[in-house]
């Protein structure tokens, strides 16, 4: 059995991943460590809260004592690090928390993993799982910077982050790489394109637009709305991480993309049509400082080496997402009520 520490597991991608893994690997133990900041929500996981192979612990990845105790109590042999401050606008307003959580928090996890998996060779985790311990860092395509009208991000490109958020994630990636090169800690780094799907906090583009449509509110669009993103349905992301955990080559980076390049206006127009609203709700606002023009992932490596493919077509995934929010308006209301406190 793998004993997996999932950090940030009450957030959007983390909660989907935990449920995916318990379904695919019912004999695995999942320990979810989450600080329950504004984007963490245990409602995302209420349907598995009584699963005997799932444990939730409220805490900070920067807290050495909590992480150390989790390793001792649960014999952790795998870490999947989702824990991160992730909203670009918030990083522009206050970069400090992004550096603390995304950089120092990641380093704390790495150091404790190194202690248990390498320094103490007689530790029972190492004895049982010597060939399968792994630290998987969940990163983002934003670490590569911005693309022009052509080309794709591949794993060999230099990191050129343009926001405090993406700079903090790039820094964390480099620290993960250093622990692999310096100490031999088994690691992988995954860099995904923009995720969408159920349980996403409604500050992000797709759930914000859906929520505003439901409430007949204006849909704020940065600048001309022609910024391009490659969209990835969250369950495709979960399946990719699962494959990297089990088959990824030590030390390698894997880009995960959905091959779905869309402008922000494309997304907004689709949601308006699906919710029977018209374009009069669109409100163009001043563009974000340092706004990257285009992201697009080359996922050739993970497809060719690990035999992974995205399974959800964009319209299918977005229809499922819109339907989920339409059927879970109470979840949205609870998020907004929480944000007012």
Q: What DSSP letter does each residue of 98-161 carry, written as one string?
A: HHIIIIIIHHHHHHHHHIIIII-TTSHHHHHHTTT-EEEEEEEGGGG----SS--B-TTSPP--
The residue ranking higher by pLDDT, 289 or 72, is: 72
Rounded mean pLDDT, 134-158: 94
CB–CB of 235/16 below 8 Å? yes
Q: What is the pLDDT of residues 256-271, one digit of tens each?
A: 999 999 999 999 999 9
Q: What is the pLDDT of residues 41-83, one digit of tens each?
A: 999 999 999 999 999 999 999 999 999 999 999 999 999 999 9
Phi, psi dihedrals of residue 11, rounded to the nearest 5° = -85, -175
123 pLDDT higher than 80: no
Which of the listed ranges 87-101, 120-134, 137-151, 326-340 does the model predict with the highest average pLDDT?
137-151
Out of 141, 173, 292, 298, the active site residue is 141
The residue ranking higher by pLDDT, 133 or 320, is: 320
Q: CA nearest 113: which of 132, 133, 130?
A: 133
Q: CA nearest 212: which of 336, 37, 317?
A: 336
Phi, psi dihedrals of residue 287, rounded to the nearest 5° = -70, 155
Does the annotation mark 203 as catalytic?
no
255 pLDDT higher than 80: yes
For residue 128, name the pLDDT band (cuts at 50, 70, 90).
very low
pLDDT at position 89 is 77
- CB contact burial 14-37 (16+ within 10 A = b; e otherwise): bbbbbbbbbeebeeebbbbbbbee
Does the annotation mark 325 as catalytic?
no
124 pLDDT higher than 80: no
CA distance linking residue 273 with residue 225, whole number of Å: 17
DSSP letter at 340 equals: H
pTM: 0.92
Q: CA nearest 276: which of 326, 208, 221?
A: 326
CA distance linking residue 26 with residue 105, whole number of Å: 29
How many CA atoms does the CB half-sphere of 60 hold within 13 Å?
13
Out of 34, 60, 142, 173, the active site residue is 142
Does the annotation mark 165 as catalytic?
yes
292 pLDDT higher than 90: no
pLDDT at position 319 is 96
pLDDT at position 127 is 44
The residue ranking higher by pLDDT, 59 or 151, is: 59
91 pLDDT higher than 70: yes
CA distance linking residue 197 with residue 100, whole number of Å: 28
Q: Which domains does the chain have, with CATH numbers?
A: 3-201+230-263+293-317 (3.40.50.720)
Q: Which residues neighbour 114 within 8 Å (Cβ) at sequence distance 6 or greater?
A: 179, 183, 185
CA distance linking residue 74 with residue 3, whole number of Å: 7
pLDDT at position 125 is 47
For residue 119, name the pLDDT band (cuts at 50, 70, 90).
very low
How far from the centroid of its chain's Cα atoms is residue 275's Cα? 27
CA distance linking residue 159 with residue 162, whole number of Å: 10
Of 122-126, 238-242, 315-319, the poorest mean pLDDT is in 122-126
How far from the centroid of its chain's Cα atoms is residue 245's Cα? 15
How many CA atoms does the CB half-sphere of 188 hold within 13 Å?
25
For residue 117, name the pLDDT band (cuts at 50, 70, 90).
confident
Out of 54, 144, 165, 312, the active site residue is 165
Q: What DSSP letter does each residue of 254-276 carry, written as one string?
A: EEE--S-EEEHHHHHHHHHHHTT
Rounded mean pLDDT, 102-131: 73
Of 71-80, 125-134, 229-238, 310-319, the poorest mean pLDDT is in 125-134
Q: Quick one: what percent of the chain has pLDDT higher than 70?
A: 94
CB–CB of 253/188 below 8 Å? yes
Of 77-91, 266-280, 305-319, the poorest mean pLDDT is in 77-91
């Amino acid at each position: 059995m793998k004993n997996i520490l999932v950090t940030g597991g009450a957030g959007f991608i983390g909660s989907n991943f935990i449920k995916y893994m318990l379904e695919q690997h019912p004999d695995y133990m999942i320990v979810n460590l989450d600080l329950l900041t504004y984007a963490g929500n245990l409602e995302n996981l209420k349907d598995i809260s009584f699963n005997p192979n799932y444990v939730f612990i409220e805490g900070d990845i920067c807290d050495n004592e909590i992480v150390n105790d989790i390793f001792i109590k649960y014999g952790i042999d795998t870490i999947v690090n989702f824990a991160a401050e992730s909203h670009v606008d918030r990083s522009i307003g206050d970069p400090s928390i992004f550096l603390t959580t995304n950089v120092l928090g990641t380093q704390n996890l790495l150091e404790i993993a190194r202690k248990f998996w390498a320094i103490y060779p007689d530790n029972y985790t190492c004895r049982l799982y010597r060939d399968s311990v792994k630290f998987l860092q969940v990163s983002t395509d934003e670490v590569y910077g911005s693309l022009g009208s052509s080309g794709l991000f591949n794993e060999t490109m230099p990191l050129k982050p343009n926001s405090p958020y993406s700079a903090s994630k790039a820094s964390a990636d480099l620290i993960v790489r250093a622990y692999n090169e310096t100490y031999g800690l088994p690691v992988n780094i995954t860099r995904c394109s923009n995720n969408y799907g159920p349980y996403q906090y409604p500050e992000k583009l797709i759930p914000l637009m859906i929520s505003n449509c439901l409430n007949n509110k204006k849909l704020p669009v940065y600048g001309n709305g022609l910024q391009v993103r490659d969209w990835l349905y969250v369950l495709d992301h979960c399946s990719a991480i699962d494959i990297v955990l089990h088959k990824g080559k030590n030390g390698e980076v894997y880009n995960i993309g959905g091959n779905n390049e869309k402008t922000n206006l494309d997304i907004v127009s689709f949601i308006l049509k699906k919710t029977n609203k018209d374009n009069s709700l669109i409100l163009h606002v001043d563009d974000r400082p340092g706004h990257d023009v285009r992201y697009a992932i080359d996922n050739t490596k993970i497809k060719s080496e690990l035999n992974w493919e995205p399974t959800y077509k964009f319209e299918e995934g977005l229809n499922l997402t819109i339907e989920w929010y339409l059927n879970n308006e109470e979840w949205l209301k609870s998020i907004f009520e929480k944000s007012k406190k």
